[in-house]
Amino acid sequence: MPLSLPLDLFDVPPGGELVTRVVKWEEGTGTIKPLRAPQGIEVPIIRLYVPAADKATEPRYWDITATTLHPSLRATLPEAVRTGRYIRIFKVGAAPRARFSLELKPVGFSGPAFVGLR
């Protein structure tokens, strides 16, 4: 099922990361227009809704298109949402060969939220 627009695609440079809490999540599809397919292609997306304190701009979600990350997100997000714990997504390499690691931060980790390079 297509996700509502606008899409806010999660993208950081190699070595970049996202540290945030997730208040809810949903799966769907969206159309992206990479250089190799300017007409657009439909891809699976996991949308992470985050608190306003963790993302100062609208929309208050990130759309994750990296399908190699999706299984880890599906396994981790129920606990992250239920407990309010932070997650950390770290990017290794550049597209189209980029890979991601996912970490559920320990209970008591208090942030702050962050996106980009450190």
- Render pLDDT for 22-69 as a digit per residue (tens, 0 to 9): 999 999 999 999 888 899 999 999 999 999 999 999 999 999 999 999
> What is the pLDDT of the chain when averaged over all its residues?
96
Is this model's pTM higher than 0.85 or not? yes
Query: What is the model's pLDDT at position 115?
Result: 96
Query: What is the model's pLDDT at position 95?
Result: 83
- Render pLDDT for 61-113 as a digit per residue (tens, 0 to 9): 999 999 999 999 999 999 999 999 999 999 999 988 999 999 999 999 999 99
Query: What is the model's pLDDT at position 96?
Result: 80
**Domain ranges for the chain:** 17-109
Query: What is the model's pLDDT at position 35?
Result: 84
CATH 2.40.50 for domain 17-109: yes
Query: What is the model's pLDDT at position 36?
Result: 84
Query: What is the model's pLDDT at position 79?
Result: 98
Per the DSSP assignment, residues forming a β-bridge with 9 are 63
Q: Are 61 and 8 in contact (CB under 8 A)?
A: yes
Q: How far apart are CA 110 and CA 75, in angstroms?
A: 22
CA 28 remoteness from chain centre: 13
Query: What is the model's pLDDT at position 105?
Result: 98
Long-range contacts of 89-95 (CB under 8 A, 24+ apart): 89/10, 89/17, 89/18, 89/64, 90/15, 90/16, 90/17, 91/12, 91/13, 91/14, 91/15, 91/16, 91/17, 92/14, 92/15, 93/14, 94/13, 94/14
Query: What is the model's pLDDT at position 43?
Result: 97
